[in-house]
Structure formats: C-alpha cells, structure tokens
Amino acid sequence: EEFCKMLPKVELHAHINGSVSESTIEKLVATKQKLDHQFSFKKGSTATLKECFEKFRLIHQLTDNVDAVYQVTYDVIQEFCDDNVRYLELRSTPREVTETGMTKELYVDAVLRAIRDCEAENLDIEVKLLLAIDRRNGVQVGQDTVKLAQKFRESHPDLVVGIDLSGDPSVGDGRDFIPVFKEAKDFGLKLALHLCEVPALQETMDLLCLPPDRIGHGTCLHPEAGGTQEFVDTVLTHKTPLELCLTSNLIGQTVPDLDNHQFKFWYEKQHPCIICTDDKGVFSTSLTEEYQLAAVTFDLSPNDLWRLSLDSMNYAFCEEHLKEKLREKWKAAKPGME
Ligand code: 5GP
C-alpha cells in the first residue's frame, strides 16, 4: 500500500546482479543482439535453488564487461532510491572475464564509480558495498576477495564496509573460510554471511560462533526447520541480526509457505530482523512489496513497519554519525505524524 512505498527504508541484503531490473536487462541485451532468455521469475512462481542460480549465470553473461557492471550498479541504485530506500548496502562477487579484459579490480572499480556518480547527483540515498565470496570458488578466491576488499577500503574507506559469503549453499564447507573471515574482521571489515539457507548442521555452529555481524536468511536455524536449539541460543546470545527475504525464500522454496517463514519465529522473540529483497530483479519484487507482504502475512501495523525499518538502521555497517543523520528521515514518516 501507499504507506509501505512512502516509508523510508533500509536495504541491507541486495546482490547487484540479482537486483537487475527488466529495463536494464533490455538495455544490455540490446548491446548483445541475441539472447531471448527469461531472466526473472514471475510473481507467484516457484523454482529450485538450482534454477535460481541458473538465472544468475544468465545475467552474468550480460554483465561480462565493465560498462555493463557500471550500468547495472547505477540503475540498481536509482531504482532503490525511487522505492524510497534511504540507506542501501549492495553486495557483489568480483568477477574476471578474460575476453573483455575485465579483471576483478576493474569490476570493483566499475561498481565504486557508479556509487560515486550517484553520490555526485545528490540522490536521497546512502550506498555502501560488501564484496561477496562465492563459496563455490574455494578458499583461495575467498582470500583474494578479502585482500581486494582491504585494498579498496584503503582508497574508499567510506564505501567498502564488509564481506559476504554466498553462492550455492550445497557446495563446499563454510568452515574452510573461517581463517579468511577472521582476517577480514581484523581488518575492520564486517561479516554478513549466508547461513543455514538449507539445513547445514556441520558448518553452522562454528560460523555462528565467529560471530558474524549479520546472518543472511538463517532459514533452517530453528528446530522446526531442521536446525537446533543450540543454534537458536547462540544467535540470541550474540544478538546477531537476521536479513530476511520473504519472496526470495518463497520462490526458491527454502520455506514451505510464508506462514512458516522464519520471520515469525524470530520476530516473536523480539530478535533483530531486517526485511530485505535479496535479488529484486530475479524475484520480481521491491522492498516496498516485501514490507507489504510482511504486513499482510504477519499482521503488522503501520507502526510495526515503521519500527522495523527504523531499527534496521541499527544493523547497518556504517558510522554511527551517519545512522544518526539518517534516522531524522523517519521522524516525519511516523504513522500519525502526517
Ligand atoms: P553478484 O554477486 O554477481 O552481484 O550477484 C549474484 C550472486 O549472488 C549469485 O551468483 C550468488 O552467488 C549470490 N546470490 C544471490 N542470491 C542468493 C541467494 O539467495 N542465496 C545465495 N546463497 N547466494 C545468492
């Protein structure tokens, strides 16, 4: 509804290549002539996680050069801003493509240029970047990603804020990356890790004990979803915030239906929950729609939604003074204040 659209919002879990809108895809396809794939899932459809990752592979074929990476990042920021997102953390996996001469450094450089150019336009949005480690690519690549993040943090200390762990959760063992995460942490980079998207009893406890600064999804942490009470207690003890993406989990079928989404479990415990889109392009959604969906599914009032979005600012990976400045924007939007 109108309220969710007008509400200032905070997006903390958005993969750049999964956030690409249809209109940006059309621009990119036009530069490539062929390709008639379907890049996103229609509303209400379901898929397997494997099919979700197939979409990312298709999009990656379009974003195989620095101009496309720049364009995608630039458009994604504009679209989040149009949706009244006032603070945005993007995450992306640095990629190299030999044929186009794109190195991982040029990839990150293109993303950062797009962020800077949006900044120069004085858009009403603050943007930060996390570099993502794709677990499919192994520990050495993870190590290189942290090095790259350290390097770019030196040149852009206000923009490069953290490290993400993502990629197909059924591949590899997250524990292998622990030394890499510790190094990132020592360097002042924050950790946002995809954890327990699918039941993962082996790696979860060790990763939870790092502890990460935020958890992506955490779909199967609680006993009813295949997790354990110990996982739950650890998350509660550390007060580790959860980034929750309703539509993504529904389409990807990591939850049976929304009534059984983990949001309910954690929200009832008054645990920090952040509503996010994950991949607004691939899952044909927006942060406004995710708030609406949460409102309808979990019977949240405008005041509850306002509180959720304002509280999300607490878990952002940015300086306290920026949080304080941004919180001002919520005052005028408080239900009953208009
Ligand atoms: P990129 O990092 O290329 O900007 O965005 C796409 C990538 O994000 C995918 O290849 C995948 O590694 C990661 N990703 C996007 N959505 C999800 C998700 O729901 N779960 C996991 N584990 N990874 C995801």
Q: What is the complex's ipTM, to 2 decimals? A: 0.99
Amino acid identity, residue 266? W
Q: What is the mean pLDDT of residues 199-214?
A: 95
Asked if 178 and 195 touch (Cβ cutoff 8 Å), the reply is no
Q: How many distinct helices (H) and strands (E) make up the chain? A: 14, 8
**249 Cα–ligand 1 center, Å:** 13
Degrees to nearest 5, angle at CA 285 with 82 and 159: 55
Per-residue pLDDT of 285-312, as tens digits, reads 999 999 999 999 999 999 999 999 999 9
The confidence score (pLDDT) of residue 121 equals: 98
197, 203, 243, 290: which is the annotated catalytic residue? 197
- What 3-state DSSP class applies to 338? coil
Asked if 210 and 179 touch (Cβ cutoff 8 Å), the reply is no
Q: Which residues line ligand 1 (CB under 6 A)?
A: 15-18, 56, 92-93, 132, 134, 166-167, 169, 194, 197, 248, 278-279
In sequence order, the 6+-apart residues with CB closer than 8 A to the CB of 178 are 206, 207, 210
The confidence score (pLDDT) of residue 238 equals: 98
| Neighbour count for residue 302 (Cβ, 10 Å) | 16
For 149, phi then psi, to 5°, come to -65, -40
- Structure tokens, 70: 């720049």
In sequence order, the 6+-apart residues with CB closer than 8 A to the CB of 83 are 5, 9, 286, 287, 288
In whole angstroms, what is the distance from residue 52 CA to residue 31 CA? Answer: 24
- Residue 146 above 80 pLDDT? yes
Catalytic residue list contains 197: yes
Angle subtended by helix axes 201-208 and 229-238, to nearest 10:
20
- Residue 33 above 80 pLDDT? no
- Residue 140 above 80 pLDDT? yes
Q: What is the mean pLDDT of the chain?
A: 96
The confidence score (pLDDT) of residue 32 equals: 77
Among 159, 129, 147, 87, which Cα is nearest to 324's?
A: 87
Fold of 2-330: TIM Barrel (3.20.20)
The confidence score (pLDDT) of residue 201 equals: 82
In whole angstroms, what is the distance from residue 277 CA to residue 46 CA? Answer: 16
**321 Cα–ligand 1 center, Å:** 30
Peptide bond into 335 cis (omega under 30): no
In whole angstroms, what is the distance from residue 135 CA to residue 182 CA? Answer: 16
Q: What is the mean pLDDT of residues 233-246?
A: 98
Would the CA dihedral through 111, 280, 131, 61 be positive or negative?
negative
What is the per-residue burial (b if ≥16 Cβ within 10 Å, else e) of 223-238?
eebebeeebbebbeee
Degrees to nearest 5, angle at CA 11 with 14 and 82: 100
Q: Whose CA is nearest to atom 11 of ligand 1?
A: 167
- Residue 35 above 80 pLDDT? no
